[in-house]
Amino acid sequence: MSPIYKTSDENSSQFNKSPEASVLILAGEASGDYHAAALVRETRERFPNIKFFGIGGEKLEKAGMKLLLHYSEINTIGFSGGLAKFRKVLAAYRVMKSELRSGVYSAFIPVDFPDVNMRLCKVAKKANVRVCYYISPQVWAWRKRRIFDIGSNVDRMMTIFPFEEKMYRDIGVAADFVGHTMVNDIPGDLDRSLLRSELGLLDSRKIVTLAPGSRRSEITRVLPVMLGAAKSHLQKYPDTQFVIPLAGPHLRNLVQNFVGNSGLDVMILEIDASKVMAASDSGLVASGTATLQAALARMPHAVVYIIDNFTWMLATKILMPLVMDPDIHVAIANMLSIKSGNEIDSPIDIMLKRGFRIPCLECGRPLFVPEILQHNATPNNLAFWLDRFRNEPALTAAIDEGFIRLREMLESDPSKPSASDIVCELIQKRVCVQPVGE
């Protein structure tokens, strides 16, 4: 049976009809919900008879997946939050295990979220359900031997970072770099004035985005510090308008409570964060997918990372020396720049050549964007970077040059299979739908 990927139109024509199939997905957090929704949307446009079920959020539901549970029931960060949600996570795992054993599904698409998904991959393998992992667990960052467990339980790995493809292929795993969803969703040349008009923001004001994360526990730790930095910055620059794009409507009350208690005039928007970032002059961003949104939206930003003290101590004193990459960083832009190799100038190289060295406060190495972690994450330290972004145009110009390079690194190769192509190929093999002419 020949591969089905060429172009989307050619792929569709190779099927006699849209295959009848059901696919199970587990996307355990907002970023996974976002990426998987794009995959579901594209696949259903081409093959409307493929049905999707699983755990996700509003974006997956809007794309056409029937939600079995919302990801907010199971996602958490740190050990203290995990213990509080252990029963819900276990219940969700049992639901998914039962679904995989039902005999209904042609494929299982786990999306990141490795602590649960890697266990479910083993269940799927035993149930003869094909596994197409989307968004690799960060095996390059810590517990690197997990890659061998993945290899033995996954039929195909779809990566969104280019260096991951080779990493998997080197150990014999069928892997494909499929490009990053955000590159297509966040154009690199958006009209800032037009965006501001659409969002109700004034061109005469400096716009600063506060992106405190998508988890309640994360927002509870990060947002008060960001608001403290906003208060300090406003005392110097009262023409600044701060904006918070919500990661989901279920977070509105929580965010409103913090903003109300701060006494600050902060605009809260239920809109795609990348649009707000593209309309902004600078920002503060919690670690995670939002850091890449900020980079692709070309918004100068500092990355903030705060977890509970027990998890921080465990990570820095025990896990990092034993099982973690010593050069791990929380900003995706920094990680990609470090992992890019020597073939092209990385964003860090660009910064150094322009005369700017942003040091890691933990290890001292140069970074592309500043990372403010744990005890260093104070209102004054965050306000320091907002001041620099406002007052140093040469700095922001160098950062913008790095953002452009980062986009080039994440673009997919149109001659290679897309994520939708790969999923459809697995389903084709599973349900034995023959291409036309074979």
What would the mean pLDDT of 210-227 be, rounded to a whole number? Answer: 95
**pLDDT cut 90: percent of the chain above it:** 65
What would the mean pLDDT of 265-276 be, rounded to a whole number? Answer: 94
- The Cα 159–Cα 358 span in angstroms is 29
DSSP character string of 327-393? T--S-HHHHHHHHT-SSS--HHHHHHHTT--EE-TTT--EESS-EEEGGG--HHHHHHHHHHHHH-H
Nearest to 371 by CA among 320, 327, 404: 327
CA atoms lying within 13 Å on the CB side of residue 98: 7
pLDDT at 313 > cutoff 90 = no
Residue 364 pLDDT grade (very low, low, confident, very high; cuts 50, 70, 90): confident
pLDDT at 235 > cutoff 80 = yes
Q: Per-residue pLDDT tens for 275-298?
A: 999 999 999 999 988 999 999 999
CA atoms lying within 13 Å on the CB side of residue 104: 14
Q: Quick check: helix, strand or coil at residue 98?
A: helix
* Predicted pLDDT of residue 149: 84
pLDDT at 69 > cutoff 90 = yes
What would the mean pLDDT of 253-263 be, rounded to a whole number? Answer: 96
* Predicted pLDDT of residue 188: 83
What would the mean pLDDT of 41-57 be, rounded to a whole number? Answer: 93
Q: pLDDT higher for 88 or 233?
A: 233
Q: Quick check: helix, strand or coil at residue 288?
A: coil
pLDDT at 224 > cutoff 70 = yes
* Predicted pLDDT of residue 73: 85
Residue 10 pLDDT grade (very low, low, confident, very high; cuts 50, 70, 90): very low
What would the mean pLDDT of 214-227 be, rounded to a whole number? Answer: 95
Write down the domain spans for the chain.
8-179+412-431, 189-410
Q: Give me the chain's average pLDDT, please.
A: 88
- The Cα 231–Cα 344 span in angstroms is 40
pLDDT at 5 > cutoff 60 = no
Can 8-179+412-431 and 189-410 be said to share one CATH topology? yes
Q: Per-residue pLDDT tens for 127-185?
A: 999 999 999 987 766 667 788 888 889 999 999 999 899 989 998 999 999 999 999 88
The superfamily in CATH containing domain 189-410 is: Glycogen Phosphorylase B; (3.40.50.2000)
What would the mean pLDDT of 46-72 be, rounded to a whole number? Answer: 94
Residue 316 pLDDT grade (very low, low, confident, very high; cuts 50, 70, 90): confident
Q: pLDDT higher for 437 or 329?
A: 329
Point out which residues pair with 283 in neighbouring strands. Answer: 209, 301
CATH number of 8-179+412-431: 3.40.50.2000
DSSP character string of 306-331? ---HHHHHIIIIIIHHHHB-TT--S-
Q: pLDDT higher for 195 or 432?
A: 195
CB atoms within 10 A of CB 16: 11
Lowest pLDDT segment from 140-144, 361-365, 373-377: 140-144
Element (H, E) at 60: helix 58-63
Element (H, E) at 273: helix 273-278
Do 398 and 354 meet the contact criterion of CB atoms below 8 Å apart? yes
DSSP character string of 124-150? HHHTT-EEEEES---TTTB-TTHHHHH
